[in-house]
Amino acid sequence: MQSPTADPLDLVREDLREFAGYRSARSERLDGGIWLNANESPWCNPSDPDARLRRYPDPQPEALRALLSDMYRCRPGELLAGRGSDEGIDLLVRALCRPGQDAVLVTSPTFGMYAISARLHGARVVDVPLHDTPQGFQCDFDAVADAAEANAVKLVFLCSPGNPSGTLLPIESIAALAQRLEGRAVVVVDEAYLDYAQAPSATSLLDMQRNIAVLRTLSKAHALAAARIGAVIADAGLIAVLQRCQAPYPLPGPCVELAVAALAQPVRAGSAAHIQTTLDERERLHAMLASSPLVRCAYPSRANFVLARLKEPQDAFDRLLAAGIVVRDLRSSERLGDALRISVGTPEQNRAVAAVLGSDGVSA
C-alpha cells in the first residue's frame, strides 16, 4: 500500500477550514499569580473548600491527552479528548458535512447516534445493511465503497466490534476501503468495544491512510461511563479542525481527575483482569443463550454483550424484567424485531439470566 497524498483537510467544509473557533480564557497559555481573565468568582463555593471547582478547566488537559495517546498508540497531536464517543461523532459530522448536500454512510444494524447526528446537522443518511449470516452480521465493503462514491458521502461510520451485532471487522478490509475512498470520504472506525476483542486497532493505519478516524471511549472496559471521557484519533490537521469546532470547556475537571487516576498502570492492570473475566463470561452467556429453548439464534460476539433473537421476545423480556433483570429491547429496530441485547454481567448476574431463560443446565 502506497503512502497517500490526499489531505483530509480537503474534505472539511470549505467555510470551516480556516475557522478560528472560540478562544476561551484557558486557551491562552499565560502565566500569572492573579487570574482575572475569565470572569470567574474570586471566592470558592462553600461546598468546595479545596477550590477544585472555581476555575474553568483546561480544554485539552496535557496529562490526560498524553495518557490516552500512549494507550491508543498515537501522537498527542492526533488525539482530541471529548465527552465520550458521542461528541466525536457530532464533531466529525459538523466539520465535514455541508447541510443539505453531503451524506454519511452507516451499516445497519448499528449505533443509532451516527444517523441522529447526521440528521441534526442536515446531512443525508445512506444505509448499506450488514448481511445476516449464520456466522454473524457481515459487512459488504465493496457495496459500502460503491454507495459512498455514488452518494456524495463524506463520512463512513463503521462500528468494530459492532453495536449491536458484536462483529469485529477485518482491519485489512478497513484499510482497503479507506484507500479506495481517499480524497472522497473519511472512514470512521468506532472502537468503543475493541478492548473486548483483543484485536489490532485501526489507529495502526493512520500513518498510511490519512482519511481514517478512530473513536475510543473510557465508558466500557475502563468502567467510567459517568465520567464521559472519549477520544477522536485522526490526522493532526483534522484534529485541529475538530478542536476549533468543539465547545470551549468540554471536559469537567473532576472527570479528568478520575480519568487520569484510572489510567495509572496499577488501575489499568485491574481493568485488564475485569476484561478477561468478561471474555470468559461472554462465552458462558453465549453458550447459555444458544442452548435455551426460548432463543432462536445467539450471535457470536467480540464485544461485552450478546445479541439474541427470541422465539417469543415479549415473553422473554417480561420474564427477565419480572426477575429484576433489565436488558436492551431492540424490537423497534429495523431487521431486529425479535431481538434482545444482553450485556455481559458478573458471573452471578449471568447465572440469573440463565435461570430465567432456561438454558438446559448450561448456566452452571
Is residue 269 packed enough to be buried (19+ CB in 10 Å), middle (13-18) or exposed (0-12)? exposed
pLDDT tier at 364, thresholds 50, 70, 90: very low
Q: Is the pLDDT of residue 339 over 90?
A: yes
pLDDT at 358 over 90: no
51 pLDDT tier (thresholds 50, 70, 90): confident
What pLDDT score was predicted for residue 243? Answer: 96
For helices 141-150 and 171-180, the axis angle rounded to 10 degrees is 20
Delineate the domains of the chain, giving CATH numbers in brackets: 8-263 (3.40.640.10), 272-357 (3.90.1150.10)
Mean pLDDT along residues 294-314 = 97
**Is residue 361 predicted with pLDDT exceeding 50?**
no
Calpha distance 141→157 (Å, rounded): 12
Confidence of residue 227 (pLDDT cuts 50, 70, 90): very high
The answer to whether residue 1 scores a pLDDT higher than 90 is no
Mean pLDDT of 123-147: 96
- pTM for the complete prediction? 0.94
Please report which confidence band the pLDDT of residue 29 belongs to, taking 50, 70 and 90 as the band edges.
Answer: confident
On the question of pLDDT at 175 being above 70, the answer is: yes
Q: What is the mean pLDDT of residues 332-341?
A: 94
- Say if CB 124 and CB 151 are below 8 A apart: yes
Residue 285 has pLDDT above 80, yes or no: yes
> What does the mean pLDDT of the chain come to?
94
Helix crossing, 62-72 with 253-262: angle to 10°? 40
Is the per-residue pLDDT at 5 higher than 80?
A: no
Count of all residues that appear for the chain in the document: 364
332 has pLDDT over 80: yes
The closest alpha carbon to 159, from 115, 110, 206, 197, belongs to: 110
Q: How far apart are CA 139 and CA 16, in angstroms?
A: 32
Judged by average pLDDT, the poorest of 25-34, 208-217, 350-359 is 25-34
SS (H, E, C) 88-101: HHHHHHHHHCCCCC
Within 10 angstroms of residue 134's Cβ, the number of other Cβ atoms is 7
Question: Would you state the pLDDT for residue 359?
Answer: 55
Highest mean pLDDT among 2-6, 9-13, 49-53: 9-13
Percent of the chain with pLDDT over 70: 97
